Structure 1
Amino acid sequence: MSGTSEGPRPSGVAVPRRVRPLITERYDVGRNSTELCDYRAAFNAAQLAMAVVDREGVVVSANDALALLLGTDRAELQEQYAADLIDLASDARTWHAYREVLHGRRSRFRCTRRLKHPDGRSLWAEVSVTPVPEGGSVLLAVTDINDRRQLQARLRHLQMHDPVTRLPNRTLFFERLSSALESSACAHGSTGRIGLCYLDLDGFKAVNDTLGHRVGDRLLAAVAARLADCAAGGNRTRGGGHLVARLGGDEFAILVEDSTGTEQLADLARSVLAALQEPFDLAGQRLSVSASIGVVERAVAGTSATGLMQAADTTLYWAKEDGKARWTLFDPERNAHRMTRQALSSTLRPAVERGEFELQYQPLVGLADGVTRGVEALVRWNHPQFGTLAPNRFVGIAEDDGSIVQLGRWVLRTACRQARQWQLDHPGVPPLFVSVNVAVRQVWDSDLVADVAGILAETGLPPHLLQLELTESAVMGSAGRPLQALQALSDMGVHIAIDDFGTGYSNLAYLSRLPVSVLKLDGTFVRGFQDEAHANPADETIVEAMVDLAHRLGLTVTAECVETSGQASRLRRIGCDTGQGWLYSRAVSPERIAEMLGAGPRPVHATTSQ
């Protein structure tokens, strides 16, 4: 019997061709013959498979246990090279260690070998080689560890597989993923790419809550079977399926090694969605489920297991955000936007304290005479990494995480202080009112009335010189606390304006019940006036009707996004009160507004700043 070959014999260290020498037993003849007989009897009767090997690696004597283990006769083992019998020359490291013991340069050596029995079965054996004291030979012992290896294999299988679905679990999945990333990068013939479908079931919690965990587990097992079929079917040409794993709960992953591109992953995702859309019959329960899938496909080079899973998790979130029951492919640009959003969100609150925000002001100009009546305060974020950011880059984030209350309070205080300073510095001209945008969350999450009252008292700005702008969707349908707050502010003398009017609910009946004094027409209506040669009479009719209604209710109207003199003329003819836009000025610094005030109340008919 010979060991199974695990590779070529180490170069330059081949086992020499055996010439049958005359073997003589090399025992000390001076020893007590009775003691020697006892040793030999113990050696031959031992259950442990053993052999005495000379310094050339030739078997001098072997016991019955070794013969039985190797499936041969004891006599056949003598004069054989031990390295051939138990495959010690199959790799250089093992061969070198074995020779070191034979030559007396190492005290012991141990290794594990997989041997092939003459009857065709394989067995695992632990081999140890130890020098015989005061002798010129070594003792070779071979232990059958098949049962131990099988037990270890069973324990590993239990450790690495999910008991409900019998799929590989999270531990085995990441082990396989890490191995794939390491091997695919340098393997000859590999595509050098890897793909992942990461999915969870939509509404699985409802199944557990209503039908119980037993039905939920049956559903997970049935889903696992369909996923395995999809993975095997999509890889028939490569002689096997992709790895399907349950990562926990209702989360599954399909790993595609040697991916051929995004189309392969897209086809796999489509097949999974189609398979899961078919109803499940589970012990009398007929269930229908759907799944959301995040799909990632990329080059192995430069990819880590953590990075791949983060991308997959993000893409799965997009699939759910986009409506569920769908697959979504990872988009680097969308991810960059998400990363930027996260970076901004994490630094927004400290940025207020660090003074990274500033206000610019855009004039609100009377359309009849071109005189600046007020300014709108527009916040900018001077971000140390991303540069100057407009409100649309961060206000939504601030509203989501609640920091809009802190930021809004800072904007309100800064704008009121600046408006009061202009009033004090230019007593000879009519004072400008300042218009400040207020998010609906500021009404709900803070005492806006108290904030405004406190800031007006602190800065000394008269209430009638402050205008608060809320979006149409924020004020339409207001009741309870928001309506009470708006009414209290109006009673205080503060003006309330509805921003972007005409784009939200457009429920005009509310205008008679809200304490509103100004309507700001959304720029989409004004842009319809740009093409004077082919003017749309419907646009002018709509705007004229809204202006007329506002005036009948005692409200003034401001038109946003006025960019041409033609637009200004038509709005003036319709009866619109004030205009705001690049025709007059972009948002400028407080110093530029001060220069305008210092020049006196002159009409503004063209852009004053670029």
Structure 2
Amino acid sequence: MSGTPDGQGLAPRTTPPSITQRHTALGIEGPGAPLADYRAAFQAARLAMAVVNRDGLVLDANPALGALLGTDPARLADRSAADLAGLREDPAQWAAYLAVLRGERPRMRCTRPLPPVAGAPRWAEISVERTADGRGVLLCLTDVTERADLQARLRHLEMHDPVTRLPNRSLFFERLAGALEQAGRARGGARIGLCYLDLDGFKAVNDTLGHRVGDRLLGAVAGRLTECAAPGGHLVARLGGDEFALLVEDSRGTDQLCELAERVLAALQRPFDLGGQRMSLSASIGLVERPAAETHATWLMQAADTTLYWAKADGRARWTLFDPERNAHRMTRQALSSTLRPALERGEFVLDYQPLVGLVDGVVHGVEALVRWQHPQFGRLSPNRFISLAEENGAIVPLGRWVLEAACRQGRRWQLAHPANPLVVSVNVAVRQVWDSDLVADVAAILARTGLPPRLLQLELTESAVMGSAGRPLEALQQLSDMGVAIAIDDFGTGYSNLAYLSRLPVSTLKLDGSFVRGFRAGEQPNPADQTIVEALVELAHRLGLTVTAECVESAEQADRLARIGCDTGQGWFYSRPVSADRVSALVGGYAPAPAVGSG
């Protein structure tokens, strides 16, 4: 008998062997072989079966197999069993089948599609097992179409959202992983895009109109998203709640993604009519578009989620494209925020000091303590890089306590070294330190430990924090003032500027914001209105018994004009940049550059 397992090179027989000859070839007829019993069982079996030789050709097929395949079983003789069962379609199944034919494995089992009947798909479970004597194999096919249909229906329910009928989160990630895997195998320039959107204010719909209306709205949104995605065949999925995603496989670039986002925004902004109830809706969309081979599902979703947050933060009802630089900045902020407290424990913070100089006499009267972070990765960081983070996560309380104690300890050293010229140490205090800690107790304990007299400590709070103080903050400020600690309003003129509070607060100093001082540039005539405001503020402060410090003094001309207006002290690069404590010591008892004071 000629033939090969792959079905190539078969020659038609002029005289096909008889059933007896086929059985004899397989060793199932001879002394003691119950041929009649075998034939009866084989022919009557409801299980579709075929006897296959070692070349992979059908020797005999029973009526059940003929019925399953829709043909006379006699016409199946000498046909390739692999072709009948579709085993060539899957490389793994084909390899396993050949291994059974060669005797390298005893059996194999798989599920394969059958030729459809009246357009309806069918499935069969196929088993191939060698006969006891090893001369051939027995091929069995079981119709499992009903079971496959049930599994398909169950999978559809498992992979689709019951409210919108869209693919759910599981199916979305399955498709996303498949797209990335296929792109990785192709090793080409394939790109992938993702629109990640969230409905603006959807919670209010559920809260006011009920979840039933909310579900109907989600269904209507799903319909419009599907219409927007249909021309490109993009996958639309509901990821949960009011979050949806549109997956753009084989993306043509950011322009295509942005155009899709514009269509989505326009579609969702059209009023929805839900049973006669009209409502408007908007969405925020995060867009990410990348080479598929250079990304993975986790990163893509993280980037999309971050970009969606940007879209909401930027005002909602818009799309925002992923920006690597903006993301790097966000990651840096996150890294700094998470390491603030450990950095304090590791002693990574240091203090610099900037002198506060008399504008008339040029004497250094005090210093402002400014915290710096000696970060092991990002280098020396100024306060604007981490103070807002510390206020957000609460680390400002232990950090502020450390700054206060370090500054007071240094102030005490200066007092002991220069008793004739003691310096006032000014320390910034955040509002959260007043609310989240007992600031009065902290200050009292630190002054007691360090030995610094209260009169040599000044606490600075921003104008927006002080103006409007009531209850606990006001009580704390009053207790600190009663203790002998000076209170200064920092950046005065940039906040509420509610002058009525000045007569009620225990404030001793106003620090004019640098925006006023920058107008007094050398060689330039200051804005008359600005100069009038500064003069009025200085006169008002003096009438209330307050001193005035001008920030950001950068030239002798500025210092001279501020002195003529009546400012008491100045602070800025004209006198000194923030420096270490040992360099401040050299200025104590000496004089900083003094401006010339005169008329005109």
Native 8 Å contact 1:517 1:555 kept in 2: yes
Q: How many Å separate the matches in 2 of 1:412 and 1:539?
A: 34
Change in 2 beyond 3 A, CA 1:461/1:442: same
Change in 2 beyond 3 A, CA 1:467/1:121: closer
Name the counterpart of 2:539. 548
Show CA shifts across 1:158-193 (max 9, x none): 1111111110000010011111112124438x6521
Secondary structure at the aligned position of 1:301 is classed as helix
Change in 2 beyond 3 A, CA 1:141/1:485: same
1:150 counterpart letter in structure 2: D
The range that moved more, 479-488 or 277-286, is 277-286
Q: TM-score, with normalisation over the residues of structure 1?
A: 0.92
Q: How many Å separate the matches in 2 of 1:519 and 1:573?
A: 17
Show CA shifts across 1:447-472 (max 9, x none): 11111112112212111111111100
Secondary structure at the aligned position of 1:210 is classed as helix
Name the counterpart of 1:238. none
2:523 counterpart letter in structure 1: E
2:110 counterpart letter in structure 1: C
Secondary structure at the aligned position of 1:487 is classed as helix
Deviation at 1:92, TM superposition (A): 5.4
Aligned partner (choices 212, 224, 234) of residue 210 of structure 2: 212
Deviation at 1:104, TM superposition (A): 3.7
Deviation at 1:91, TM superposition (A): 5.5
Name the counterpart of 2:296. 304
Q: How many Å separate the matches in 1 of 2:455 and 2:168?
A: 67
Q: How many Å separate the matches in 2 of 1:550 and 1:29?
A: 121
Q: How many Å separate the matches in 2 of 1:490 and 1:405?
A: 21
Give the 5 Å matches for 1:513-552. Answer: 513-552=504-543
Secondary structure at the aligned position of 2:311 is classed as helix
Q: How many residues of Structure 1 are paired with residues of Structure 2 in the alignment?
A: 585
Deviation at 1:515, TM superposition (A): 1.1
Deviation at 1:41, TM superposition (A): 1.1
Aligned partner (choices 223, 226, 232) of residue 224 of structure 2: 226
Change in 2 beyond 3 A, CA 1:342/1:94: closer
Show CA shifts across 1:430-482 (max 9, x none): 21111110111111111111111121122121111111111000001111111
The range that moved more, 406-415 or 80-89, is 80-89
2:236 counterpart letter in structure 1: V
Deviation at 1:301, TM superposition (A): 2.6
Secondary structure at the aligned position of 1:571 is classed as helix
Name the counterpart of 1:362. 354
Does the alignment pair 1:383 with 2:375? yes
Change in 2 beyond 3 A, CA 1:426/1:147: same
Name the counterpart of 1:195. 193
Name the counterpart of 2:251. 259
Q: How many Å separate the matches in 1 of 2:252 and 2:102?
A: 53
Native 8 Å contact 1:23 1:60 kept in 2: no
Name the counterpart of 2:46. 47
Deviation at 1:565, TM superposition (A): 0.5
Deviation at 1:58, TM superposition (A): 2.9
Change in 2 beyond 3 A, CA 1:118/1:334: closer
Change in 2 beyond 3 A, CA 1:380/1:45: same
Deviation at 1:50, TM superposition (A): 1.0
Change in 2 beyond 3 A, CA 1:69/1:422: same
Name the counterpart of 1:153. 152
Deviation at 1:570, TM superposition (A): 0.6
Secondary structure at the aligned position of 1:478 is classed as coil
Give the 5 Å matches for 1:285-296. Answer: 285-296=277-288
Change in 2 beyond 3 A, CA 1:89/1:592: closer
Native 8 Å contact 2:7 2:80 kept in 1: no
Q: How many Å separate the matches in 2 of 1:92 and 1:175?
A: 22
2:256 counterpart letter in structure 1: Q
Name the counterpart of 2:563. 572
Q: How many Å separate the matches in 2 of 1:338 and 1:261?
A: 25
Native 8 Å contact 1:71 1:118 kept in 2: no
Change in 2 beyond 3 A, CA 1:299/1:136: closer
Q: TM-score, with normalisation over the residues of structure 2?
A: 0.93
Secondary structure at the aligned position of 2:587 is classed as helix
Secondary structure at the aligned position of 2:294 is classed as coil
Name the counterpart of 1:23. 17
Deviation at 1:49, TM superposition (A): 0.9
Deviation at 1:89, TM superposition (A): 4.1
Name the counterpart of 2:590. 601
Gaps of at least 5 residues in structure 2 are 596-600
Identity of aligned residues (%): 70
Change in 2 beyond 3 A, CA 1:145/1:374: same
Name the counterpart of 1:140. 139
Gaps of at least 5 residues in structure 1 are 1-10, 236-240
Show CA shifts across 1:489-541 (max 9, x none): 11111111110010001111111111111110000110001142443332222
Show CA shifts across 1:278-331 (max 9, x none): 222222332222211111112223211000101111111112222222222112
Name the counterpart of 2:598. none
Q: How many Å separate the matches in 2 of 1:118 and 1:581?
A: 89
Greater than 6 Å deviation, 4+ residue runs = none
The range that moved more, 256-265 or 360-369, is 256-265
The range that moved more, 279-288 or 309-318, is 279-288
2:55 counterpart letter in structure 1: E
The range that moved more, 52-61 or 411-420, is 52-61
The range that moved more, 287-296 or 406-415, is 287-296
Q: How many Å separate the matches in 2 of 1:85 and 1:172?
A: 33
Change in 2 beyond 3 A, CA 1:359/1:179: same
Secondary structure at the aligned position of 2:46 is classed as coil
Q: How many Å separate the matches in 1 of 2:536 and 2:451?
A: 39
